[in-house]
Amino acid sequence: MLGLVLEGGAMRAGFVAGALMALMDKNLVDFDFAVAVSASVPTLAYFASGQREEMEEVWRNELTNSKLVCYQNIPAATIALSEKRPFLNIDYLVYDVFKKRFPLNQDALFACKMKCRFSAASVPQGKQVFFSPMEHDIYDVFKACLAVPGCYPTTVTMNDCEYVDGGTINPLPLQGLPNKDVSKFLAILTKPTDCENEPPNFLERALFWRYFKKHEWMLERLWEAAQLYNTQVSLLERMAQEEPPVP
């Protein structure tokens, strides 16, 4: 069986969207399992539901909107944690862009033979969790998977459990694929393999100090996630050398 792994990475995930649209154009969509993290979670959902036009419209015309990335809210994000003044307005993206203007064809998503898994991180346990499309309201799942620590000021609650962006724990969730069932998989990364992942730098830690003070465990997990990512990319390179992709 064939698997698909999608890295996130905020705007870098536009590369993932472009790669998926190219696969759709060539009708290369026969994957059995797929897992995505962070910004690639909604992209995977559109891919599974066959909504190429909506995917392109969102990535081309919506993600540069000042309603999404609110630079004027940086001082507020540093001083206080408020959903009303986030640096990254996930609520606008999920409930206005995805739900109202470019709604997901959930019937097509649920009927897709490809089994999708969307990665998030539990709070405060710091464990990676995977949601299926029908497990919760799909838009609430999007919000949980997109809640970048600090950039979005709070965790996301579903069924009395709190979550943040799954990239906090693992930016490249290879473990989301069932090892016993998947014989080959395609991993779409959002940066060159020789570009190492790094934990939050001093400026990022200073900018969102109040958030990380509230969730002290998170900085350590972000450091561990960076090391894990680099290890997994090295693993992918070794696997590709041992069994080169078919042209």
pLDDT in tens, 102-141: 999 999 999 999 999 999 999 988 899 999 999 899 999 9
Check residue 176 and give its pLDDT.
Answer: 86
Query: What percentage of the chain has pLDDT greater than the value 70?
Result: 91
Bond into 178 cis (ω within 30): no
DSSP-assigned states of every residue in 111-124: H-SSEEEEEEEEET
pLDDT higher than threshold 60 for residue 247: no
The mean per-residue pLDDT over the stretch 28-43 comes to: 95
Check residue 82 and give its pLDDT.
Answer: 61
pTM: 0.89
State the pLDDT confidence band at 151, using cuts at 50, 70 and 90. Answer: confident
Q: What is the dihedral of CA 41, 46, 52, 57, to 10 degrees?
A: -70
CA-closest candidate to residue 103, choices 31, 55, 63, 61? 55
As a whole number, the mean pLDDT across the chain is 87
Check residue 246 and give its pLDDT.
Answer: 57
pLDDT in tens, 161-207: 999 999 999 999 988 888 777 888 999 998 888 888 877 777 677 66
